[in-house]
């Protein structure tokens, strides 16, 4: 399989008083098409910073990143377009809009990418059904359980069938059983869509989900 994203000698430094913090330090990383990589690490290990660099949400201090052979070069406009067209994002906190229903929250991702409202709602209904939420389409976030909210967030990330999905502690607020359920849904849908996945997590349940497991500490892989 072809490499989808690759980083070489990637670093992110910042100043904290007189001290230079090496949040990510000379990392080499790559992910192939339809590959699932899990990055474990304690809080402050650098794994979330690495995800932000790889996704173009943060700028790097040194090194290089290429996605589908396009070199980032910290060019925000082009990166914004790449993220919109072929990347998805899921975070520990679902970031659902409280005044929108489940189907409206998910449809937004499709409309932002250029689909009309009717088509976006059709796509949102379909993918929410795949996540077992057909009976929750018109529920607001306040009416959903924690696991249901996170499944809505995952449906939103997957609605455009992205080539690459970034997940930062996606089960961090869920209990063990709910975490297993959410991971199973994610596994099924990403296999169907043939999406590549990078997960930064503490959750041991992801061990059986991954093709490759990496561990970060103090900004480096160990």
When pLDDT is averaged across residues 171-197 and rounded to a whole number, the result is 88
Give ∠ CA 145-185-39 in degrees, rounded to 5.
95
% of residues, the chain, pLDDT over 90:
61
Q: What is the pLDDT of residue 75?
A: 64
Q: Tens of pLDDT along 60-109? A: 999 999 998 888 876 667 778 888 889 999 887 768 999 999 999 999 98
Whole-number Cα distances in Å, 203 to 5, 13, 21, 96, 161: 24, 27, 26, 22, 25
Q: What is the pLDDT of residue 109?
A: 86
Q: What is the pLDDT of residue 120?
A: 96
When pLDDT is averaged across residues 30-34 and rounded to a whole number, the result is 95
- Check: CB of residue 179 under 8 Å from CB of residue 201: no
Q: Tens of pLDDT along 109-160? A: 899 888 999 999 999 999 999 999 999 999 999 999 988 998 899 899 999 9
Parse the chain into domains and list their residue ranges: 34-59+85-221
Q: Is the pLDDT of residue 1 over 80?
A: no
CATH of 34-59+85-221, one of 3.30.470.10, 3.40.50.300, 3.40.50.800, 3.40.190.10: 3.40.50.300
When pLDDT is averaged across residues 184-198 and rounded to a whole number, the result is 90
């Amino acid at each position: 399989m072809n490499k989808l994203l690759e980083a070489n000698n990637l670093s992110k430094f910042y100043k904290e008083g007189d001290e230079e913090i090496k949040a990510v330090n000379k990392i080499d990383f790559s992910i192939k098409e339809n590959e699932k990589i899990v990055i474990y690490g304690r809080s402050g290990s650098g794994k979330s910073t690495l995800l932000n660099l790889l996704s173009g949400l943060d700028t790097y201090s040194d090194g290089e990143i290429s996605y589908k052979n396009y070199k980032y070069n910290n060019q925000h406009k082009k990166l914004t377009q790449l993220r919109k067209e072929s990347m998805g994002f899921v975070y520990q906190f679902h970031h659902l809009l409280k005044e929108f229903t489940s189907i409206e929250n998910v449809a937004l991702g499709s409309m932002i990418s250029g689909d009309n409202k009717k088509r976006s709602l059709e796509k949102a209904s379909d993918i929410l059904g795949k996540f077992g939420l057909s009976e929750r389409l018109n529920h607001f976030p306040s009416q959903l359980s924690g696991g249901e909210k996170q499944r809505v967030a995952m449906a939103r990330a997957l609605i455009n069938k992205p080539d690459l999905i970034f997940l930062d502690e996606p089960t961090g607020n869920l209990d063990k059983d709910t975490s297993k359920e959410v991971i199973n849904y994610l596994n099924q849908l990403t296999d169907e869509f043939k999406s590549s996945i990078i997960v930064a997590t503490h959750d041991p349940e992801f061990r059986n989900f991954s093709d490759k497991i990496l561990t970060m500490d103090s900004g480096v892989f160990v």
